């Protein structure tokens, strides 16, 4: 994995040079500097960026919005379609968010209703999160206002996001909602381990999303798969620090759609709170989470390598009135190895109303980082099968 990430950084550098030359000389390139953008890190360039986007979006055939090298301050902006042809957002320069919490909006940069979008270029999104994190009160106030997500994709289809960095997001880094057929590769997302709610990637109500060859180090979930997501493939992702890769939380709201079809493979978790996690609320709202495969995964000093939590309550009390009604089924854990930093390396606390079923574990080999006796599994309301070598010993 370390070699892979090193190769990825080399590709970043090569891409930097290539896209700069390619973007600067194409006849259908719309350079934001030609629209008045100033790379001084202080001037709000949203008007120039929007004008460049609108011209590119209305251009027939392939077009590019080109951001040359430099630091551009950019206020809240929404790039909307549909467009007349494919658009590339060629970001060789760095974009800097305004300081402060920006509580009047839930996003910094958004792409909406765009088909065949490419976002690339090797540039960096700087969310300036340190100026906003002290205003995050969501652990104390359930009616809190959310801080803005760095880059949001809504109703985006047949698209690619690659060779982009995001640092210090005020809230999450990337969010995908109602998207279809999107490839995300060779990105780097980072925020301090103690930064609040800085999820790397959130995916909701989307299908055919692929995330690969990326590094995510943040203060919340590296990747969160939310309700309505189907056919999600995650591979060669390095996660840490962070809260792992999570399905959920699910079941908090009435009418949530099912989550079906997730593969997490060839990933590394280093020093994370969790490894692979499924979390649901104790509520009467019904849905299913099914057809998941977690395989070929390295856990390095992970506190909860494998965890299913159907009593999820991040900020007690949660006024639980019933057991969870989210059915978890057809989940396979295969070839998972490494070290656990806690005694309980496998925890599956499933619902007494709808027990987990058809859970398969094959060759799960975890060691005790602290050497304080054998590791343990802790299960309730789980039905399934176990194959191959198992440490800790299985509990169902």
Return the H-helix or E-strand segment holding 57: helix 46-57
* Beta pairing partners, 30: 65
- Residue from 199, 250, 209, 249 nearest 230 by CA: 209
The secondary structure of residue 135, as a DSSP letter, is G
Our answer to whether residue 315 is catalytic in this structure is: no
In the numeric block, the tokens 């652990």 are attached to 139
**CA distance linking residue 70 with residue 217, whole number of Å:** 25
**CA distance linking residue 154 with residue 171, whole number of Å:** 17
Cα–Cα separations (whole angstroms), residue 80 to 32, 63, 87, 141, 169: 17, 15, 11, 33, 22
Our answer to whether residue 220 is catalytic in this structure is: yes
Catalytic residue among 126, 199, 221, 243: 243
Q: How many CB atoms lie within 10 A of CB 180?
A: 18
Tokens of 243: 């809260």
Omega of the bond leading into 275 within 30 degrees of 0 (cis)? no
Catalytic residue among 220, 300, 309, 330: 220
What positions carry a catalytic annotation?
A: 220, 243
């Amino acid at each position: 994995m370390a070699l892979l990430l090193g190769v990825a950084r080399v590709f970043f550098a090569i891409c930097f040079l290539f896209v700069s030359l390619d973007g600067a000389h194409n006849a259908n390139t719309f350079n934001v500097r030609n629209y008045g953008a100033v790379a001084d890190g202080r001037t709000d360039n949203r008007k120039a960026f929007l004008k460049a986007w609108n011209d590119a979006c209305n251009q027939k055939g392939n077009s590019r919005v080109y951001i040359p090298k430099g630091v551009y301050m950019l206020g809240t902006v929404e790039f909307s379609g549909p467009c007349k042809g494919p658009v590339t957002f060629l970001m060789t320069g760095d974009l800097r968010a305004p300081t402060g919490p920006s509580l009047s909006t839930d996003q910094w940069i958004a792409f909406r209703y765009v088909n065949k979008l490419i976002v690339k270029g090797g540039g960096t999104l700087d969310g300036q999160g340190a100026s906003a994190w002290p205003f995050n009160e969501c652990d104390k106030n359930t009616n809190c206002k959310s801080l803005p997500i760095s880059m949001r994709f809504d109703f985006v289809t047949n698209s690619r996001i690659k060779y982009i960095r995001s640092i210090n997001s005020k809230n999450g880094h990337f969010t995908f909602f109602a998207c279809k057929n999107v490839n995300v590769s060779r990105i780097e997302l980072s925020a301090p381990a103690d930064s609040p709610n800085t999820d790397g990637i959130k995916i909701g109500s989307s299908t055919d999303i692929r995330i690969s060859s990326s590094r995510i180090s943040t203060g919340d979930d590296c990747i969160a798969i939310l309700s309505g997501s189907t056919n999600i493939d995650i591979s060669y992702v390095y996660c840490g620090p962070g809260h792992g890769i999570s399905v959920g939380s699910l079941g908090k709201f009435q009418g949530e759609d099912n989550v079906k079809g997730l593969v997490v493979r060839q990933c590394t978790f280093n020093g994370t709170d969790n490894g692979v996690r499924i979390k649901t609320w104790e509520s009467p709202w019904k849905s299913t989470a099914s057809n998941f495969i977690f395989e070929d995964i390295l856990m390095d000093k992970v506190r909860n390598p494998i965890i299913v939590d159907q009593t999820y309550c991040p900020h007690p009390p949660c006024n639980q009135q019933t057991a969870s009604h989210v059915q978890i089924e057809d989940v396979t854990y295969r070839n998972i190895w490494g070290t656990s930093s806690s005694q309980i390396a496998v925890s599956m606390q499933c619902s007494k109303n709808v027990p987990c079923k058809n859970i398969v574990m094959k060759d799960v080999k975890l060691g005790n980082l602290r050497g304080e006796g054998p590791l343990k599994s802790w299960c309730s309301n789980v039905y399934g099968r176990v194959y191959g070598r198992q440490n800790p010993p299985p509990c169902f």
